[in-house]
Amino acid sequence: MLYHLLYPLKEIFFGFNLFKYITFRAAYATLTSLIISFIIGKKIIRWLRDKKFGETIREDTPTRHRQKEGTPSMGGIIILISAFISILLWARLDNIYIYLFLFVTFAFGTLGFIDDYIKIKKINKKGLQIRVKFLGEVIISFVILLVFYYLIKGSDVKTKLFVPFLHFPIMDMGIFYIFFGTIILLASSNAVNLTDGLDGLAIGCSLLTISAFTALAYLSGHIKIAQYLKIPYIQGSGELSIFGAAFIGASLGFLWYNAHPAEIFMGDTGALSLGALIGIFSIVLKKEILLLILGGIFVIEALSVIIQVISFKLTGKRVFKMAPLHHHYELLGLAESKIIIRFWIVGLIFTLVGLSIGLKIR
């Protein structure tokens, strides 16, 4: 909005020319969402506590989680409100990718909100029935990929598959990319959701991955830099760095309250929307396979659940003391804060390796 209002006034005052630069708007999108999250965070926490929207701790979680019973959930509201306001202020609103990303995060956030509400109000302690929730995710993801396939113009690589170490696509999936992309969104959103089990764990790891994709969006949207780095040039994707920057600021603001010991949990409202954002970033920027590295922590957490379930069904034995993996380390006796920080460090390693592979080792 500010771009459309102030940039045309550059002829009157040269300072307004700053609004042309994505880096300038991205920096202030980060600050804006961070400040908004600080302003609304305490108020939303207080409101959720007054409404008794407190988390119900599952019986199968480690016993020390019992003391977290009643901590307000649905904290993803803070992230979404802060980020959306910042995006509408600082992004160019003539960019179709902005609307696609808004729809993705809002739709998954809404589904997560419904699931949180049902759990918190004890309509059903487990929230939405698994098949209903999964069906909702499938429908949303499929609609998003239909929009991406049929309405996004100006990209000749949107259905092509790129792999790390190669600067050319290995195949064009055509219309089948709709189904492939749907799987990416489903996997990404649920992997982040599975990681959301310790104070600050999921939001910290999400910050690292979103930061990487924010940088990649800027580079992919700059034709000369993209050609130099031999990465796919995605016309208009540079504006998505504003979107990512707004979510970085909002996530940092949320982490202020979610850091151990947490004053609020993000719930499915935040986890599903952040996971979907990471997924759609990988789809638009053609980094679907690189996502396995950039989101390495999420991949490991999801795999630990899959391995646990398969092992128990086939042999009756568990590989881990508890899945997802962070609970396994809890039951081994590690302090929660130590697990969180170590996972962040490993996540940072994955991020740096992923960026080096995606940009230079080709």
pLDDT for 113 equals 95
> Does the pLDDT of residue 343 top 90, yes or no?
yes
pLDDT for 62 equals 65
Helix (H, G, I), strand (E, B) or coil at 340: helix
pLDDT in tens, 101-130: 999 999 999 999 999 999 887 666 677 888
CB 213 within 8 A of CB 315: no
pTM: 0.94
Between residues 130 and 192, the one the model is more confident about: 192
Domain boundaries, the chain: 2-293
CB 109 within 8 A of CB 270: yes
Encoding tokens for residue 335? 């302090």
Supply the mean pLDDT for the chain.
92
d(CA 137, CA 242): 26
For range 196-224, the mean pLDDT:
96
Question: Chain-centre distance of CA 155, in angstroms?
Answer: 23
Between residues 128 and 345, the one the model is more confident about: 345
Question: How would you label 290-304 residue by residue, b for 16+ Cβ within 10 Å and e otherwise?
Answer: bbbbbbbbbbbbbeb
Q: Which of 216, 225, 261 is nearest to 243 (CA)?
A: 216
d(CA 27, CA 33): 10
pLDDT for 71 equals 87
d(CA 205, CA 297): 7
Question: What Rg value do the Cα atoms of the chain yield, rounded?
Answer: 20
For range 141-147, the mean pLDDT:
97
CB 178 within 8 A of CB 149: yes
CB 70 within 8 A of CB 262: no
d(CA 351, CA 205): 10
Encoding tokens for residue 255? 């982490």
Taking residue 57's Cβ as centre, other Cβ atoms within 10 Å add up to: 16
44-58, 142-156, 201-215, 298-312: the lowest-pLDDT one: 44-58
d(CA 309, CA 319): 9
Place of tokens 């490993």: 346
Encoding tokens for residue 85? 């306001």
pLDDT for 217 equals 97
With bands split at pLDDT 50, 70 and 90, how would you rate the model's confidence at 167? confident
> Does the pLDDT of residue 221 top 70, yes or no?
yes
Q: Which of 196, 215, 176, 223 is nearest to 30 (CA)?
A: 215
d(CA 128, CA 131): 8
CA pseudo-torsion sign 280, 270, 343, 211: positive
pLDDT in tens, 276-327: 999 999 999 999 999 999 999 999 999 999 999 999 999 989 999 999 999 9
With bands split at pLDDT 50, 70 and 90, how would you rate the model's confidence at 362? low
Q: Give, rounded to a whole angstrom, the gap between the first and last alpha carbons of the chain.
A: 38
Taking residue 61's Cβ as centre, other Cβ atoms within 10 Å add up to: 14
pLDDT in tens, 26-71: 999 999 999 999 999 999 999 998 887 776 666 556 656 666 777 8
CB 293 within 8 A of CB 357: yes
